[in-house]
Amino acid sequence: MSEVIQLTAQDGHQFDAYLAQPKEKPVGGLVVIQEIFGVNAHIRGVADSYAAAGYLTIAPAMFDRIRPHIELGYEEADVKAGLEFKGQVAPEQAMLDLGAAVAAVAAAGKIGVVGYCWGGLLTWLAATRVAGIAAASSYYGGGIVNFVEEEPKCPVIFHFGEQDHAIPMDQVETIRARQSGSEVFVYPAGHGFNCDQRGSYEATSAGIARDRTLDFLSQHIG
């Protein structure tokens, strides 16, 4: 079962979140963090898939800081718009929204975070700045290298594509070196390889990364 609920951040900002519930008692909670395209059909599908795996899953609408109901596709114009929207949300604001999302699923038990693209960066920042997170899986988060000296408060794994032109491999190696306690996985794929609505989708890599994420969540959450 899924529904859209409203959350309130500590600064009073009210925003939507897509909540997907498992059929049985949750094994834990999970926050799924969007790409630069909003909580669109793909992200809702990702949330549904993790709910099917047993997690009470929530996908907060991070662009509601700008205006409600922003959903984009994957064409060139959508990418341009998404990048502009991303630039209007300060990391500090995003952390407040993610804190509210964590609180919303806290009753399920331990909480994990999984994020993609911009959400991959926010996953890393949440792991270092937001209380109450037990595990974080970050997919191809651009800009992580700029925050690589921050210390995570929970176990983290990273997924990158070796053909990702937005995240050079030297940045990936910097992350690996500076965060030696975290596993860094590299796949024969490009940016966005998990998204089956993008031309860069790479099914084998996406499947392996998902299995690794599920194993990781099972280890640290349940």
Residues with catalytic annotation? 117, 164, 191
Helix, strand and coil content of the chain, in percent to the nearest 5, comes to 40, 25, 40
Q: CB under 8 Å, gap of 24 or more: what pairs does 147-150 form?
A: 147/121, 148/174, 148/175, 148/178, 148/179, 149/178, 150/124, 150/125
Cα(4)–Cα(159) distance, integer angstroms:
29
Cα(60)–Cα(58) distance, integer angstroms:
6
Dihedrals phi, psi of 217, to nearest 5 degrees:
-65, -40
Are 145 and 175 contacting, i.e. CB atoms less than 8 angstroms apart?
Answer: yes
Task: Quote the tokens at residue 136.
Answer: 């974080």
- For tokens 């079962």, the residue is 1
Are 32 and 50 contacting, i.e. CB atoms less than 8 angstroms apart?
Answer: yes
